[in-house]
Structure 1
């Protein structure tokens, strides 16, 4: 008759009796079943604790925080609101589950005022610095563009000047050279003036001596002329150094003469430039802000101290062509 009892059997005169361990109760068929102390209010859990029934007993556990649920073993596990579809995300939002919570996110280029609100386009063009030149807003994005003569940098935001001279193979007339400006180009006149000849080795214009006493010792010339092409961005202010000039030692190529001074001989259109001496070199600087799109042609004389005549002699000329871009890049 032991099989009639699920747990233990006690023999009594003329019969037997089934018993159950603590926490279980006996059914009429002799089987034991668990007593749910929690449902029967037979537990002694504190008011801020939760009763969890177990087989033959119960547990008192602290309640789970918001976003978690209690398992049958008394553990708190995350509630995946996204999987259970109990989130408040708008249909244009994506629900992303977090531990104890969730987050409603929008696709890149969109934003929302919070759960339940639709995703709306972000106008990136309203954000300063998005594009260096022109910005066009798109649904969920934007595109930058550049002015003529520039191309978009691989970073998709800034503009790079196109060097038409090298990329397009520009050919200029004799005594002219391609001048790559910021955003454009031109063929600049670099001819040697009367009384000068081109030195094929240095491309300098060398001034022939009219008489032997004028010649630089050991040479047949009395001076040189060189052309400088200077492309500047818009926005150059006053007091900015823009180019450095040096008088070459024509008897010792690769070196420059230290005992020199410089004078701005000619400037076009009241050009806002000055020249000063610094460490044996001439520094061309701005005296006023340079207007966008302006162009200037300057002539600067360089004087060298001569031991032979014990005085200063004009030995170098510089012709500086300056082109200012319409844009600050």
Structure 2
């Protein structure tokens, strides 16, 4: 198919007058595809379909065009030369009583409306006298018009077909094609960048994420976390308080109290909180927080104290030192009584594990060939304790059964000394008062060692 198009211009060259009495000479020239019409005094179009033998080959038909001709399929439709020529500006179908024969301008032009004798271009697109298809856009050009496909379309045959931009991966995440265009969409957790194609992460934490306590932004999403003492609910957003007290009975030495996001340990009366979990006995005797008189001694025990008389000796015993009483052998009333009684005090906690060594007795004076034995003389009617002899000069008081407080025991721990060669026999008693505290302790226990001094007669 041969397609020839020409733009038409008519140029009139008129030399300046040399002398008033001389007849001017006029020169005319037309562009290709036009020839000068001396009768009408303008350039007229050459009909190449008539002047060129066999202008179009095959099944193509020849259509004369302004300044050229077109070879088109026989089924093609065009605006023929018989279409009314444009008239003055604003009247594309020609003015009243005018036709192309009276139009001195080439096709596609018309005289200016001010009568200046110039030719102005006719906007075929604005006057809708173009032959563009509905899918095409009309573009006005000097002396004619041009049909083109709008942005986002490409020409296939005579039609403009939408370009599927999504096939070329214009978008970072998702592409949605639309007629003549496309839009980019982002996955959840992202938003379009300023170029409308890339996707950038959304900081949900700064945009009101539904986290109850703490929010951490991550790439494309976010995470909720809870403060210490709370745990994340199954919904992934809410925080529930952790009941630390339910995890273990050993979390506090005495009592655990759960609070929102934390827990606290409290101690019973007579104890101070040591650190955050342990309870330490208050020694009222050392702090002076007691009511004992000058004639009394203050004895501290777990959770409290006791005031005891300084002189505990009862006849026939006489006091020889603090907490020590003696019964002289010269006194007939002392014949069947222990030679000495020593008063001591100790404290243990409730629910102590058994068997448990709690008190050791040690003889400080040893005579040659003397043999010592140890026993509980009184105060152990329930069998809560027993004596384990270690050697000839020491023994251990053992707690045999679990005991609970508050309560107290008064045990007479006796050491019998015999010498078969000298037919010697004596005894000494340690009167031990044991205070059992009201509360158990989970700390390590200590053994109290005490020495009994033997006296000779």
> TM-score band, normalised by the shorter chain?
0.5 to 0.7
2: CA distance, partners of 1:144 / 1:183: 17
Alignment match, 1:159: 279
Is 2:435 the partner of 1:327?
no
Contact 1:172 1:187 in 2 (8 A): yes
Give the 3 Å change call, closer, same or farther, for CA 225–164 of structure 1 in structure 2: same
Give the 3 Å change call, closer, same or farther, for CA 210–92 of structure 1 in structure 2: same
Is 2:430 the partner of 1:318?
yes
User: Which structure has the higher relative contact order (CA within 8 Å, separation 6+)?
Assistant: 1
Aligned counterpart in structure 1 of residue 238 of structure 2, from 118, 122, 126: 118
Alignment match, 1:236: 352
Q: Provide structure 2 residue ranges, at least 5 long, that are not aligned to the other structure.
A: 1-164, 173-188, 191-199, 442-457
Aligned counterpart in structure 2 of residue 226 of structure 1, from 307, 331, 342: 342
Paired residues, number:
251
Give the 3 Å change call, closer, same or farther, for CA 263–85 of structure 1 in structure 2: same
Shift of 1:259: 4.0
2: CA distance, partners of 1:170 / 1:258: 45
Where do 1:154-233 residues align within 5 Å?
Answer: 154-155=275-276, 157-170=277-290, 172-173=292-293, 176-189=296-309, 191-200=312-321, 203-210=323-330, 223-233=339-349
Give per-residue Cα distances to partners, 1:186-210, cap 9 Å, x unaligned: 123561232333334x653333331
TM-score normalized by the length of structure 2: 0.46
Alignment match, 2:404: 291
2: CA distance, partners of 1:99 / 1:303: 85
Range with greater deviation from structure 2 (163-172 or 104-113): 163-172
TM-score normalized by the length of structure 1: 0.61
Shift of 1:183: 1.0
Contact 1:106 1:112 in 2 (8 A): yes
Aligned counterpart in structure 1 of residue 416 of structure 2, from 291, 303, 315: 303
Contact 2:323 2:344 in 1 (8 A): no
2: CA distance, partners of 1:207 / 1:80: 94
Give per-residue Cα distances to partners, 1:92-139, cap 9 Å, x unaligned: 131235689754211222221257421122222322233222233222
Alignment match, 2:270: 149
Larger Rg: 2
Give the 3 Å change call, closer, same or farther, for CA 42–122 of structure 1 in structure 2: closer
Shift of 1:151: 1.6
Shift of 1:288: 2.4
Is 2:364 the partner of 1:272?
no
Q: How big is the alpha-carbon RMSD for the aligned residues of Structure 1 and Structure 2?
A: 4.2
Aligned counterpart in structure 1 of residue 226 of structure 2, from 106, 111, 116: 106
1: CA distance, partners of 2:233 / 2:293: 64
Where do 1:242-253 residues align within 5 Å?
Answer: 242-249=358-365
Alignment match, 2:373: 261
